[in-house]
Amino acid sequence: MHPNKVVRQRVETLTDLPNIGRAGAADLVRLGIMVPGDLIGKCPFEMYQQLGVLTGKAQDPCVLDVFMSITDFMAGGEARHWWSYTPTRKCTLKRC
């Protein structure tokens, strides 16, 4: 869902999360995440790595940005566009 349309009190399904559509929700289910609350305490970097293992393919780094956005949101952060996490991801991976 577009971050500007997210209402925290109405987040019940995976597609209610910021930056998550049907494909992103399918990736989350593949990771064993069935409801938004399952994201609490999850590490986006571990999720990203695990998704690559499960699919047998390297994932686009933007997927990590999305995972960072939804884990931050579920930890109480605001709903932000996934690309606002790109600088943090790059610095964390020593690419800044």
Q: What is the pTM of this model?
A: 0.95
Domain locations along the chain = 3-92
Q: Average the pLDDT over 10-26 and give the result.
A: 98
Reduce the secondary structure of 1-42 to three states and give it as a string.
CCHHHCCHHHCCCHHHCCCCCHHHHHHHHHCCCCCHHHHCCC
pLDDT value at 96 more than 80: no
pLDDT value at 18 more than 60: yes
